[in-house]
Amino acid sequence: MNACLLLMCLPVIGWGQSNDTLKVNLQQALDIALSDNPAIVVADLELKRVDYSRQNAWLGLLPSVNGSAQYSKFVVPASMSMMGQLMDSPTDFNASLGVSLSLPLFAPALWRSIQMTGVDMQLAAEKARASKITLRNDVTKAYYSILLAQDSYKSLQDGYAVARQNYEEARQRFDLGLAAEYDYISAEVQMTNLQPTLLQVETGIAQAKMYLKVLMGVDGAVPLAVTGSLTELEAAVATTGARDIALSGNADLRQLDIQQQLLRKSVQLQQTQWMPTLAAFGNYTYAGTGNRQTTINFGGMPIAVPASTEWFGQGLIVGLQLNVPIFNGSSNLIKVKQINLQQRELALQRDYLESSLSVQARTALDNMDKAVKQMESAKKGVALSEKGYSISAKRYETGAGTMLELQSAALALTQSRLSYHQAIADYLNAKADYEKIVGND
């Protein structure tokens, strides 16, 4: 691939430094992202929400106590019959106060619901873990791409410095009549062609900075600088060899397993609809009646009724309540069959996902091995290119070589350096993907 085309696609970071510039290495970038990224904050809030649901389910085991009060006033006096004679009742109002208590003794559905909230808690925790793994992978690969761009940018700058040096030498030799005009023009063309590439890379610098800051949850106005280089990470590059792929930690597979548990609990919950429930209850009522002052005409004799208020307890009632389901139209049976089908679908999805992840993990390992070989080849290519350029430069100085030969050697040196950095980045990116697949935290 042409070096110019390669660098046009490379994201890099800005080089401007100031006293308030945020300087980060990989671990610092991860720490900031895992604490400030909105996706992580949302996952943590969701975990708390599910925990509240779990606590609420446990509260169903506690006794429930309810109080009630009622007051009714006669706007129009009620009528009453006494010895065949109809007369107005002196009752002015009725009131009552009551307390009721209920305590579940045998409630299978409640226990199954509590167990399901525990599984919901596991699922929420696994989703939060998956969010962190995904974010870690994104930040890590963004960091490595920035290091690749920084090192490649430096290689381009070195290439531009070489091209400028060749141009100055060709111009001086042309002015002295020791070189052809073609050497002078071609050297200037090579130098000029590198300038747009450098400008495009600098534009990519700002874009990559913004992307990394978004992942980290950092304000876009904060200056950012990434420390380190790919060369420093060369020691981490090593062949994978024969390695068993363990997918037990994969977040997606673990979520499917937990969802399978939820479906099993759902079946058990539906089965409890066929079971009886037993609860203890108690009830105490305190009632009162108020009579207004009035006169009752009874058999032609006026009887004075004084105003009075009486309160009396109506007794404490305790007991047991048993509910036995007899027939509900087989709706529970149909729901169980639906859940069983969902379990089969989920099992098929898991098998397919596991096969796909195995292929992806093996591909990542193969890419790591491939990158190791490419790095070794590129490293040797850099040494040979440096030696070749040194020989070409000496030949051109003595007049034994041509400018075209010198330019080809300079371009080969730049490309070999870019290939070397690219191989290290390919290995690190493949390793990051592998760690995400196997579920390394």
The predicted pLDDT at position 241 comes to 66
The predicted pLDDT at position 333 comes to 85
Q: Token pair for residue 309?
A: 């208020």
The predicted pLDDT at position 6 comes to 40
In this structure, which long-range contacts are made by residues 396-400, counting pairs with CB atoms below 8 Å and at least 24 apart in sequence? 396/169, 399/178
Q: Token pair for residue 290?
A: 């108020």
Distances (CA, A) of 374 to 152, 249, 369: 16, 30, 9
Tell me which residue of 416, 431, 398 sits closest to 144, measured CA to CA.
431
DSSP state, residue 61: G
The predicted pLDDT at position 27 comes to 92
**How far is Cα 344 from Cα 332, in angstroms, rounded to an integer?**
19
**How far is Cα 25 from Cα 302, in angstroms, rounded to an integer?**
102
State which residues form the domain around 398: 3-438
**How far is Cα 171 from Cα 232, in angstroms, rounded to an integer?**
38
Instruction: Tell me the residue type at 168.
Output: E
Q: Are 228 and 150 in contact (CB under 8 A)?
A: no
289: left (phi over 0), alpha (psi -120 to 50) or beta: beta
The predicted pLDDT at position 312 comes to 84
- Structural domains counted in the chain: 1
Cβ burial, residue 271 (10 Å; 0-12/13-18/19+): middle
Mean pLDDT by 10 residues, the chain (441 residues): 40 44 92 91 91 89 92 81 68 90 90 91 93 94 90 86 83 76 78 83 79 89 89 82 82 95 92 90 90 71 77 86 82 88 95 95 92 92 91 82 83 90 93 93 78
The predicted pLDDT at position 300 comes to 63
Residue 87: partners with Cβ closer than 8 Å, 6 or more residues away: 79, 80, 81, 296, 297, 298
The predicted pLDDT at position 242 comes to 62
The predicted pLDDT at position 85 comes to 64
Domain of residue 167, CATH code: 1.20.1600.10
